[in-house]
Structure 1
Amino acid sequence: MADEGIRRDEPGEVPKQFQNEQASAETSTLMNVLGYGPHIRQARIEAYKALDRYNTAGSRGTQTWITTGSKAEGLTSFLESDRDHLIVTESVICLEDGVDSSSVPVETTIFRSCSRISYSGHCRLLLEKYGTTINRKVYNALCDDGFGRGLLSSDLYVNQWLNFQQSEGTVQHERAGPSLSSTVHRIDLDVVQALHFYCPSILTRWAARHRYWPSPDVVREVVSLGAFVSPVGVKGSDYEHVEWRMCFNTGENVLINNLNDTQVKLYVLLKMVKKDVLKPQKKEVTSFTVKNIVLWIAENNPHSLFHERSLFHWLHKGLHALRVAIDTKELPYYLIPGRNLMAACALDHEQKRSWIATIDEMMTEGPRMVLRLPKIRQAIIAHPEPLRWYSGRRIETEMLTLIRINRIRINRMNLDMDEDTDVIIQALFRRQKEILWEVGMRMIMEGARVIDVENVWRNMLM
């Protein structure tokens, strides 16, 4: 399993006529109304890409900002869930063993990855050469490997960022693995400080796999984007404090954004199952787990079989794959199959039995399984006209907010521009107020007594 990932269906195993076709199509349409359609997803993706460009430009070449997770995938609204960022230091590069370093610019500090005695997908970083410009936090995170060589400590590196002076209005939270969590003006952020990692052999092995998906052009794009190392080791490892984890965030963003509509909705439904049905307390199963299941399913099955009338067929397949991963505690990472994503999950025997029983019940329920998912169930119960009316205004409010946030960011970069007199910002703000007033008035007509516009806005975007 570690070598092949999730098993490819045998020829003839997928019937020409899918079961529950009508229910699949209706659920797909309903998910469009709820904000999971391709147009709103693409608008979110482009908005966060633009925000990354502005943040990167604002660092003046010292850092690259990359939005990751559900925001980069266009799958959550503005205030729904945390906002995940990878911030990559530009003056440092880590090279896979055997890669020639002669072409690396002299100002760049070089580390050489050592993965021979680390778990798959992890490595230790040995200093090969100081650059003419040395990042202070990198320098302060160096320790001795016992043989007189510089070894970069992931633990020391993260802890330095905890002591970083925060801007006004920022509340710093406890460290969670490689992530530094904070709340900035009521928006929750998770930031991982990472380094560039050049690993051609790993990406070449991934690219050479036989697959139905993604296309050769997408494979080449993923390879060209390279990799990163994030400061976190394998839990319980003797070298945890000096281990770094290989990650491919930009490539994974491209892969998710090249799934077709049905594959994306499969991903969303499985994430809902994880959050609202299994309800893990200690990250025994995560959204990353579910993402990898969907990527393996997409790779191993003909693309033509994924359409709106086959959604429940693939949801059944996804639940089966999740059940197997929980039962066997094995799920290979899509980019590095030798890394088992379930290896360190804190899943005890009773919890495993309970989750397997729950998934078995869902698989026998057919389309009725979606009634276990609160967001889907509420939408099914709601009258179609008010649901479409409200969803349309909620989506427009979110788009106006994203455009306004990016416009404000541009103004702050161009000091000669004034937000209070920017006609575009003012027009966006006026239209947003019109929508909030319209929603508030409808709430009053339906029995609400006190309307707080700020709360209406927050609730619409959560």
Structure 2
Amino acid sequence: MMEKMSKWSAMSVLLSNAMDIMGYNTEMIRCRQETYRTLDKISNINNKDGPCTRFTTGGKAEGIARYFESDIDHLHTVKHVICTDKPLYIDHSNILTLFKVENENTPPGYVKLKLLEHNGNCLKEEISASLFENSSGEKYISSIKFTENIKESTIWLPGFTTQAKSGPSSPVSNGYLSIDRVVSFRCFLPRDQNILRNRSELSRCRDVNDTSFGFESQVHAVPVGNSYSADKYLEWRLSYTEAELNLVRNLSHADLKVYIFLKLVARSIFKPVCNEMTSYLMKNVILWTSSRCCHNSKRRSNILDTLQCCLEFLRKCLVTNYLPSFMLPRRNLFRGRVGLHENKKLQSILTDMLNSGPAMIFCCNKVKIAIHSLIKIPEMFKEYSLYRNEIEKMILVLCTCRARLRTHGVTQEQYDKLLIRDRLYRTTKLKILAKIGLYDPSAENEAEDVEKILKSTKGEYYERLSRMLS
């Protein structure tokens, strides 16, 4: 028994060390979290007269995704629009658009929004064009119509081109980096006792900050209906993204590594079997497991214990074909996602992983290569890790510069010139180019030459960095 525990602890520490060097150490996670918080703050200041406020979500905001590792997710909240099921408690004003939340005949986690007042100035035309009037004269806003009516100028990003819309998202890309943008409404709803109980269970085992969790105001209505509903064009999904982000940020670093490992496994093993096995499902798995497993999972020597609990929980959910949403347990996240054949195959994969014991960490090829490198060439691997982390930090500095100079009304040409003239941006970009072998820092170059270097190396620059940081 002691030998078994020792083996599991040793493999846990090995996995933890490998993931640190892969770019998931505490320093890099905090650096990413702080950068994306800063980017949101700068963006909202620069666009204070715009119709929306921006909030970064997903792996980037959680700090657990390297720069090119996944898409950037932005949640845009329309100003002066409020949704609530208790409209009498809202302090009405002349610049407020008010919707009543109705969920009597909708699936769990979905609502309809009935218009009560339409006085807000933000996206007023888009909202008006998306209204549907029923036979009783009541007006509801259509989620599908609203998504179609969103103008690209509402959430403009220089250097990015629009892609085909997918559900509530309006994605853009610059060829190397994609940004998924969702426009939402702020909701004020009664405290759900299931949510409070789940959060209480999680805080019992973790140091969760009460003030960071918030209450009703951390709910958004996003424009997408349930695909199985007859009225899906009128339904909106309740999103607890902001509250979920605060919970993930308060997980222990050991639990975060389990979450990262689950995301890597989902991408490389689960998704080829079932495309619906997303990172969001893995987030719910780690939140449920962390709220229930109160062994000392803050220690890196217990990572495999937590991982085993997660995989067992996921397998049980597949057996019952029911993965409850952590924020809204009545909502089944597997509904309509996992077919019978896919379900059986996923159960088989999870059974094999669990039966393999500590060797389960080798199921993910990216982690397997990292562990092999850590054992065979530890100094070289660590040196490369420091090199890669330094470059990613400089890229995040460039992101801050771009956000600072990205003001509404600036053309793409003006924006490019502002970037090249900015001293911090220019020197940081040249340092990165020198680091990846695209620029000789010893050469004396005039300002015009520097501009040419930055433009001529753009393609190769993105190619090399995307290979390194994805």
Q: TM-score range by the shorter chain?
A: 0.7 to 0.9
**Distance in 2 between residues matched to 1:123 and 1:293, nearest whole Å:** 25
How well do the aligned residues superpose, as a CA RMSD in angstroms?
2.8
Q: Which residue of the partner structure matches residue 437 of structure 1? A: 437
**Distance in 2 between residues matched to 1:453 and 1:141, nearest whole Å:** 43
Once the two structures are superposed, what CA deviation does each residue of 1:299-328 show, in whole Å capped at 9, x if it has no partner?
A: 123263431001111111111111112221
| SS of structure 2 residue aligned to 1:175 | coil
| SS of structure 2 residue aligned to 1:241 | coil
Q: TM-score, normalised by structure 1?
A: 0.87
1:110 aligns with 2:98: yes
Q: Which residue of the partner structure matches residue 86 of structure 2? A: 98
Q: Which structure has greater helix proportion? A: 2
Q: 1:18 to 1:222 in 2, by over 3 A?
A: farther
Q: Which residue of the partner structure matches residue 186 of structure 1? A: 176
Does the 8 A contact of 1:212 with 1:302 survive in 2? no
Q: Which residue of the partner structure matches residue 426 of structure 1? A: 426
Query: Aligned match of 1:58 in 46, 49, 72?
Result: 46
1:365 aligns with 2:356: yes
| SS of structure 2 residue aligned to 1:201 | coil
Q: Which residue of the partner structure matches residue 392 of structure 2? A: 398
Q: 1:208 to 1:281 in 2, by over 3 A?
A: closer
Q: 1:342 to 1:248 in 2, by over 3 A?
A: same
Q: TM-score, normalised by structure 2?
A: 0.85
Query: Aligned match of 2:370 in 359, 376, 379?
Result: 379
**Distance in 1 between residues matched to 2:439 and 2:19, nearest whole Å:** 21
Q: Which residue of the partner structure matches residue 447 of structure 1? A: none
Does the 8 A contact of 1:213 with 1:303 survive in 2? no
Q: 1:226 to 1:454 in 2, by over 3 A?
A: closer
Unaligned runs of 5+ in 2: 441-458
Once the two structures are superposed, what CA deviation does each residue of 1:230-260 show, in whole Å capped at 9, x if it has no partner?
A: 0111111011110001111111111111000
| SS of structure 1 residue aligned to 2:328 | coil
Q: Give how far 1:117 is off.
A: 0.8
1:45 aligns with 2:33: yes
**Does 368-377 or 425-434 show the bigger shift?**
425-434
| SS of structure 1 residue aligned to 2:35 | helix
| SS of structure 2 residue aligned to 1:156 | helix
1:279 aligns with 2:271: yes
Q: Which residue of the partner structure matches residue 298 of structure 1? A: 290
Unaligned runs of 5+ in 1: 1-15, 441-450
| SS of structure 2 residue aligned to 1:363 | helix
Query: Aligned match of 1:77 in 54, 57, 66?
Result: 66
Q: 1:373 to 1:106 in 2, by over 3 A?
A: same
Q: 1:453 to 1:68 in 2, by over 3 A?
A: closer
Once the two structures are superposed, what CA deviation does each residue of 1:333-384 show, in whole Å capped at 9, x if it has no partner?
A: 1111111111121x22222211111110110111212222121111122222
**Distance in 1 between residues matched to 2:128 and 2:390, nearest whole Å:** 47
Question: Between the two proteins, what is the percent identity of the paired residues?
Answer: 23
**Distance in 1 between residues matched to 2:335 and 2:277, nearest whole Å:** 11
**Does 53-62 or 417-426 show the bigger shift?**
417-426
Once the two structures are superposed, what CA deviation does each residue of 1:30-82 show, in whole Å capped at 9, x if it has no partner?
A: 10000111110010011111111122223224211111111111111112211
Mapping of residues 313-328 of structure 1, within 5 Å: 313-328=305-320
**Distance in 1 between residues matched to 2:108 and 2:5, nearest whole Å:** 41
Aligned residues: 435
Does the 8 A contact of 1:207 with 1:219 survive in 2? no
